Amino acid sequence: MPQVASNPASAEIRRDRQPRARQQRGYALVKPQRLPPEPKTPRVVERSRLARALKTLCGARFSAKRADQLAGWLVDYAKTFSVDPFALGALAYYRTRCSFRARGGNKRVGMMRIQPSLHRGALRDGRYHYRVGSKKRASLSVARFPFTRRALRRPEVSVYFAAALLSIYGKQCRYLDGRYHGVKHRHALSHMAWGDQVRGTLDEERVLRDRRRLLSYYHDKRRPSGRYKGIALYSPLDGVPRKTTSDLHARRGRRRHRGIDFYSDVGEPVRAIADGYVFFAGVQRRRGGVRKLSPKSSRWVRRASMGAGGLFVRLQHAKNLVSRYFHLSRFVVATGERVKAGQLIGYVGGTGIRHSRPHLHFEMRRGWRTLDPLRYYTGSVLPPTATYFGRHVRRRRALRRWLRAKRRRARRRREHRRKRRALPVL
């Protein structure tokens, strides 16, 4: 993530010379302010429950001992600087997947990827000096650890200074947005990514999504996100609302898209949307057909032998409802196994994908009839047109339709003229 020089104590630049930030678009939301408010942080955060939630979020390779250590630091330093421990935990996951061995690179250091050169000018005598107005200054004590590259490689020190910077940016946010004309955003996390001038909201959206996931693991409660003929439907991915990058019936060369694509990262857990059983779990072959696999053997299939769907799971539910999950990195259920709503069935991957980024391709069917998931997941799944990329695709489709209609009209006019010329002259 690129950053702008973020030294609050730097020399003043005239306000009228500050250019308005240009939005870094892509899959960022066009109007993030229209999203529902983020879930609230519990008044009392239990360290043991937070450790279990971090263990689930950060993956199987993240040990329970390290999860307990990280939970302790998050609770302590979040309380010290009056910030949200779940936002800090989500930031640690987003930056380095909670890695204790993260050293740094490209001038960034440690678990939280802090860039020391941006903040050294504001540190004097163990205090961080910053502006909260054109004529108002403030400072914050950060004397517990030295602010050096060597110290920031330690996970505890990285969490400590990340909590301090998040607190400072929270107080500076209104002043910086007015002075540097950044794009509209919802949280001080955007300044953690960009510095003084916020140029995009995608990083903030991803951290807030991981925060929602962490909170759901902390409370260990999942609520239905939609309904189908009286059946409660759960989201296939955690951290609702979720964005989609492609909708039903979008063009895929000579064929149409048969489902929706969720914007997701590799390794995210994929869950069953309702009670049912595993009708099929296997791989789509490159030369046609499918092959049934066991959960263990799904890890060792050669990518070159896979078809467009890659590893996938098909579930059969009540009311003749069928759900299918494609492009998995692996799955953990076997054919014929009973599953409960919200149960883990696999992980997001990129198997079978040739061009686009890794994502979850999700389908709903009633028998062999294709259903539109966006119709049943109202509010919890955002359509592709909610993002800049989706709007660009919609405009491009409209332009193609207009060009095709224009060519048809021109062809009809030419045929009409040809027929008139062919008429005999009386």
Residue type, 12: E
Query: Mind listing the pLDDT tens digit for each residue in 391-409?
Result: 888 888 889 889 999 999 9
Q: For each of the domains in the chain, give its residue range(s) and CATH number, in order of start.
A: 21-218 (1.10.530), 226-386 (2.70.70.10)
48-68: b (≥16 Cβ within 10 Å) or e:
eebbbbbbbbbeeebeeebbb
* Strand 242-246, strand 381-382: pairing: parallel
With CA atoms as reference, report the closest residue to 348 among 389, 293, 311.
Answer: 311
> CA quadruple 31, 176, 38, 346: dihedral positive or negative?
positive
Query: Mind listing the pLDDT tens digit for each residue in 321-379?
Result: 999 999 999 999 999 999 999 999 999 999 999 888 999 999 999 988 999 999 999 88
Q: What is the pLDDT of residue 403?
A: 94
With CA atoms as reference, report the closest residue to 263 among 241, 245, 236, 238.
Answer: 245
Q: What is the pLDDT of residue 16?
A: 37
In the block, residue with structure tokens 């009973």: 338
Percent of the chain at pLDDT > 90 equals 72
> CA quadruple 117, 120, 126, 132: dihedral positive or negative?
negative
Other CB atoms within 10 A of residue 276 CB: 21
Is residue 271 within 8 A of residue 325, CB to CB? The reply is no
Q: What is the pLDDT of residue 23?
A: 62
Mean pLDDT, to the nearest integer, of 297-316? 93
Tokens of 20: 């308005």
Query: Rounded CA gap, 162 and 114, in Å?
Result: 7
Q: Does residue 179 sit in helix, strand or coil?
A: helix
Query: Mind listing the pLDDT tens digit for each residue in 103-120?
Result: 777 788 999 999 998 898
